[in-house]
Chain A
Amino acid sequence: QKEVEQDPGPLSVPEGAIVSLNCTYSNSAFQYFMWYRQYSRKGPELLMYTYSSGNKEDGRFTAQVDKSSKYISLFIRDSQPSDSATYLCAPGYSSASKIIFGSGTRLSIRP
C-alpha cells in the first residue's frame, strides 16, 4: 500500500464550480499536510500548509485534515481556468524531514 493515495483524475469542471480534491494516507505519524500545485512543465509550488487536524482557508482555497480518518481535502471555490493544473497532496513527518507526495490529480477548468 502506498503511503499516500490520490485519485489521478483527470477532473474537468466548468468555470465557477466548487472543486473537491482528496487524498488518503496510511501513516499516522504524519503531522504536516501540504498541497502543492504544479503547472505543466513547471516545478510544484506550495499552495496550502496545515499542521495537524482542522481547516485552513486562504482566499478561494480551503484545506481540511482529518487525522482520525487519515483524509486530506482541498476545496477550490469559484474555480477559474487559471486553476487548471495538477494538485499534489503532500504530508510530512515533521518540519525537518522530506515530503511524501501523492501521485497528483490533474484538474481542468472549462471556460
Chain B
Amino acid sequence: GAGVSQSPRYKVAKRGQDVALRCDPISGHVSLFWYQQALGQGPEFLTYFQNEAQLDKSGLPSDRFFAERPEGSVSTLKIQRTQQEDSAVYLCASSLAQGATEAFFGQGTRLTVV
C-alpha cells in the first residue's frame, strides 16, 4: 500500500508486560514521528527520526519508552513494563521532506493495558 502502515492495530497487554509497536513509513520518507493520543485528546509528540538518527526524544514520558529506526525505514516503539496510564492510541507519521509540515499518519495502534 501507499500509506503509513502500523501493526498491530489493537494490542491488549497485561500490566507489567513489554510491548513493541511497528511502523512502516511511506517508502522514501526521511522523517518519522511517533505520537501518543489519549481518548478525547490531540496527539502528543513522543519522538522524531530523520533517517536512522533520533533527533528529538523529548516527548518520551519515561525511560520505559524506547524507539528505534535502525535502517532508516521501519521503526519500532517499545514500551517496557506497561502501566495502565500507557493505554492510548500510538500514531506514527512520516514525511518526505526534512520536517513535519506534510506528515502522513498511519491509523494507529490502540494499546489497552489491563
Contacts and interface: CB of A to CB of B under 8 A. Distances in A.
| Interaction A to B | yes
A101 B89 CA distance: 15
Interface residues of B, number: 27
Chain A interface size band reads 20 to 34
A45 B48 CA distance: 18
Q: Chain A's interface: helix, strand, loop or mixed, by majority?
A: loop
A32 B98 CA distance: 14
Given A88-B42, A103-B42, A96 B105 contact: no
Contact of A98 (B40, B45, B91): B45
Interface of B: 4, 33, 35, 40-45, 48, 50, 56, 59, 91, 93, 97-108
7 contacts: A8-B40, A88-B42, A92-B99, A92-B101, A95-B101, A101-B44, A103-B41
Given A8-B40, A46-B103, A98-B59, 13 more contacts: A32-B101, A41-B107, A88-B43, A90-B42, A92-B99, A92-B100, A92-B101, A97-B99, A97-B100, A98-B45, A98-B48, A101-B43, A103-B41
